[in-house]
Amino acid sequence: MAADRDERAERIHNEQVKLRATILNTVAAGFAVAGIITPVTAASAAGTGMASAASLLMILGFLLAAGLHHAGVLTLETIR
């Protein structure tokens, strides 16, 4: 009986960890789209070059996306 509860608690924990990692990865993808892909697309559609502020925001978006993705990977390491 106790073993069943322990196994159930472990499965619940693992599913919660996977959900946290999924959320972090989804937010990372959002930052990648908003911070990297959108400015490049807008600049190419307008036919103008990238402004330095846009380049800085792209770097920031990339760092946020990479950091959140890495946090998701680290979260998955807590699966039992």
pTM score, whole prediction: 0.80
C-alpha triplet 12, 30, 18: angle, nearest 5° = 10
**How many Cα atoms are found within 13 Å in the side-chain-facing hemisphere of 9?**
6
- pLDDT per residue rounded down to tens, the chain (80 residues): 788 899 999 999 999 999 999 999 999 999 999 888 888 888 888 777 777 778 888 899 999 999 999 999 999 999 98
Q: What are the boundaries of each domain within the chain?
A: 2-76
